[in-house]
Chain A
Amino acid sequence: MSLEILLFIVFSLISVISAILMITRSNAVISALYLILNFAGLAGLYLLLNAQFIAVTQVIVYAGAIMVLFLFVIMLLKPEHEKKFLEAKPKLKIFAVAIAAIIFLQLIYLLFFSKPSESLSPEMTKSIDSGTIEAIGKQLYTNYLLPFEAAGFLLLAATVGALILAKKKIE
Chain B
Amino acid sequence: MTQHIYLTILLPLLGFLVNGIFGPKIKNEKLIGIIGSGSIGLSFIISVISFFETLNLPVDKRQTIVTLFPWINVGNLNINFSYQVDQLSLVMALLVTGVGFIIHVYSIGYMHGDKAFWRFFSYLNLFIFAMMNLILADNFVLLFLGWEGVGLCSYLLIGFWYDRKFEKSTTADAGKKAFIVNRIGDFGFLVGMFLIFMTFGSLNFNDVFNRASIFNVSEGVFSLIAISLFIGATGKSAQIPLFVWLPDAMAGPTPVSALIHAATMVTAGVYMVARCSVLFASAPAVLIVVAVIGILTAIVAASIGLVQNDIKKVLAYSTISQLGYMFLGLGAGAFGAGIFHVMTHAFFKALLFLGAGSVIHAMHEEQDIQRYGGLKKFMPVTSKTFIIAALAISGIPPLSGFFSKDEILWYTYANGLWFLWVIGVITAMLTAFYMFRLYTLTFEGKSRFGSDKHPHESPKVMTIPLIILAVLSVIGGLIGIPEIFSGEHGNRFHNWLSPIFKQAERKMIIFGTHSHFEEIALMTISVVGAAAAIWFARHIYLNRPSIAENLSRKFRLTYNLLLNKYFVDEAYDYTIVNPIVKGSTSFLWKIADNKIIDGTVNGLAKVVAIISVYSRKLQTGLAQFYAIIMVLGITLALFWIILSR
Which positions in A face B, CB cutoff 8 Å? 92, 95-96, 99-100, 102-103, 106-107, 109-110
Other-chain residue from B625, B628, B635, B641 in contact with A102 (beta carbon distance below 8 A): B635
Could you tell me if A106 and B635 are in contact, using CB atoms closer than 8 angstroms?
Answer: yes
* Complexed CA–CA distance, A100 and B638 (Å): 12
Beyond A92-B628, A96-B624, 7 additional pairs, beta carbon < 8 A: A92-B625, A96-B631, A99-B631, A99-B632, A106-B639, A106-B642, A110-B641
* Complexed CA–CA distance, A116 and B331 (Å): 103
9 A-B pairs within 8 Å (CB atoms) are namely A92-B624, A96-B628, A99-B628, A102-B635, A103-B634, A103-B635, A106-B638, A106-B642, A110-B642
Nearest to B632 among chain A residues (CB) is: A99
Which residues of chain A come closer than 8 Å to B631, judged between CB atoms?
A: 96, 99-100, 103
Nearest CB in chain B: distance from A107 CB, A: 8
Nearest CB in chain B: distance from A93 CB, A: 9
Interface hits, B600-645 → A, CB 8 Å: 624-625, 628, 631-632, 634-635, 638-639, 641-642
Which residues of chain B come closer than 8 Å to A96, judged between CB atoms?
A: 624, 628, 631
Nearest CB in chain B: distance from A72 CB, A: 23
Nearest to A96 among chain B residues (CB) is: B628
* Complexed CA–CA distance, A162 and B628 (Å): 28
Nearest to B641 among chain A residues (CB) is: A110
* Complexed CA–CA distance, A22 and B6 (Å): 110
Which residues of chain B come closer than 8 Å to A102, judged between CB atoms?
A: 635
Nearest CB in chain A: distance from B304 CB, A: 87
Other-chain residue from A92, A95, A103 in contact with B638 (beta carbon distance below 8 A): A103
Nearest to A103 among chain B residues (CB) is: B635
Could you tell me if A95 and B628 are in contact, using CB atoms closer than 8 angstroms?
Answer: yes
Nearest CB in chain B: distance from A96 CB, A: 5
Which residues of chain B come closer than 8 Å to A110, judged between CB atoms?
A: 638, 641-642
Nearest CB in chain A: distance from B541 CB, A: 102
Pick the 3 closest A-B CB pairs, nearest first.
A106-B638, A99-B631, A96-B628
Nearest to B645 among chain A residues (CB) is: A113
* Complexed CA–CA distance, A95 and B173 (Å): 77
Nearest CB in chain B: distance from A138 CB, A: 37
* Complexed CA–CA distance, A99 and B630 (Å): 11
Which residues of chain B come closer than 8 Å to A103, judged between CB atoms?
A: 631, 634-635, 638
Which residues of chain A come closer than 8 Å to B639, judged between CB atoms?
A: 106
* Complexed CA–CA distance, A106 and B639 (Å): 7
* Complexed CA–CA distance, A96 and B635 (Å): 11
Nearest CB in chain B: distance from A57 CB, A: 29
* Complexed CA–CA distance, A102 and B634 (Å): 10
Nearest CB in chain A: distance from B560 CB, A: 84
Which residues of chain B come closer than 8 Å to A92, judged between CB atoms?
A: 624-625, 628
Which residues of chain A come closer than 8 Å to B625, judged between CB atoms?
A: 92
Interface hits, B231-263 → A, CB 8 Å: none
Which residues of chain B come closer than 8 Å to A107, judged between CB atoms?
A: 638
Which residues of chain B come closer than 8 Å to A99, judged between CB atoms?
A: 628, 631-632, 635
* Complexed CA–CA distance, A107 and B632 (Å): 14
Nearest CB in chain B: distance from A84 CB, A: 16
* Complexed CA–CA distance, A107 and B624 (Å): 22
Which residues of chain B come closer than 8 Å to A95, judged between CB atoms?
A: 628
Which residues of chain A come closer than 8 Å to B641, judged between CB atoms?
A: 110
Nearest CB in chain A: distance from B88 CB, A: 96
What does the 1/0 interface line of B526-537 toward A look like (CB < 8 Å)? 000000000000
* Complexed CA–CA distance, A92 and B634 (Å): 17
Nearest CB in chain B: distance from A61 CB, A: 26
* Complexed CA–CA distance, A103 and B628 (Å): 12
Nearest CB in chain B: distance from A166 CB, A: 20
Nearest CB in chain B: distance from A120 CB, A: 20
Which residues of chain A come closer than 8 Å to B624, judged between CB atoms?
A: 92, 96
Could you tell me if A109 and B628 are in contact, using CB atoms closer than 8 angstroms?
Answer: no
Nearest to B628 among chain A residues (CB) is: A96
What does the 1/0 interface line of B545-579 toward A look like (CB < 8 Å)? 00000000000000000000000000000000000
Nearest CB in chain B: distance from A94 CB, A: 11
Nearest to A102 among chain B residues (CB) is: B635
Nearest to B634 among chain A residues (CB) is: A103
Which residues of chain A come closer than 8 Å to B642, judged between CB atoms?
A: 106, 109-110
Nearest to B627 among chain A residues (CB) is: A96
What does the 1/0 interface line of B59-93 toward A look like (CB < 8 Å)? 00000000000000000000000000000000000
* Complexed CA–CA distance, A103 and B638 (Å): 8
Nearest CB in chain B: distance from A163 CB, A: 25
Which residues of chain B come closer than 8 Å to A100, judged between CB atoms?
A: 631
Which residues of chain B come closer than 8 Å to A106, judged between CB atoms?
A: 635, 638-639, 642
Nearest to A109 among chain B residues (CB) is: B642
* Complexed CA–CA distance, A106 and B643 (Å): 11
Nearest CB in chain A: distance from B640 CB, A: 11
* Complexed CA–CA distance, A110 and B643 (Å): 11
* Complexed CA–CA distance, A106 and B625 (Å): 22
Nearest CB in chain B: distance from A95 CB, A: 7
* Complexed CA–CA distance, A61 and B632 (Å): 33
* Complexed CA–CA distance, A109 and B645 (Å): 13
Nearest CB in chain B: distance from A110 CB, A: 7
Nearest CB in chain A: distance from B628 CB, A: 5
